[in-house]
Amino acid sequence: MTSPLQILAQYWKHTAFRPLQEEIIQSVLQGKDCIALLPTGGGKSVCYQIPGIILPGVSLVISPLIALMKDQVDALQQKGIAAVAIHSGMQKEEVKQVLLDASESAYQFIYCSPERLESPLFNEYLSLIPFSLLVIDEAHCIS
């Protein structure tokens, strides 16, 4: 099994974790529920992205902003990591194809908005997708 530090070096080109990242990652890998409160720029995304790379299955990331989703997906794709965002700018057939692909393990990360969880189409496919992690990014936006 590849270690979190090896993943960090391979994909992010860093040789050491920032404060608390390694502890958070280990907790996630042990299957524990985890809340990561780190400052802006503290590397919160790495705390779920590294476990998402290591664990089998798909990580579902709930994110409130399309721009943030796109930035995260672009960054992962540039690293060669299979990621996709499902957002309101997509046609129903596009969403359906992404979900179908996800059910066949085409992605390691799926980003979507909280509202997407209420979509009948999305819910129809949820049980077909082998999820390993549920992540709520920018949780302070939850109201």
Give the model confidence (pLDDT) of 62-81 as tens digits: 998 899 999 999 999 999 99
40: domain range? 4-141
- CATH code of the domain containing 58: 3.40.50.300
Exposure string (b/e) for 78-113, b if CB count within 10 Å is 16 or more? eeebbbbbbbeeeeeeebeebbeebeeeebbbbbbb
pTM metric for this prediction = 0.92
Give, for all 143 residues of the chain, the pLDDT tens digit.
689 999 999 999 999 999 899 999 999 999 999 998 888 888 899 999 999 999 999 999 999 889 999 999 999 999 999 999 999 889 999 999 999 999 998 999 999 998 898 889 899 988 899 999 999 987 776 66
How many structural domains compose the chain?
A: 1
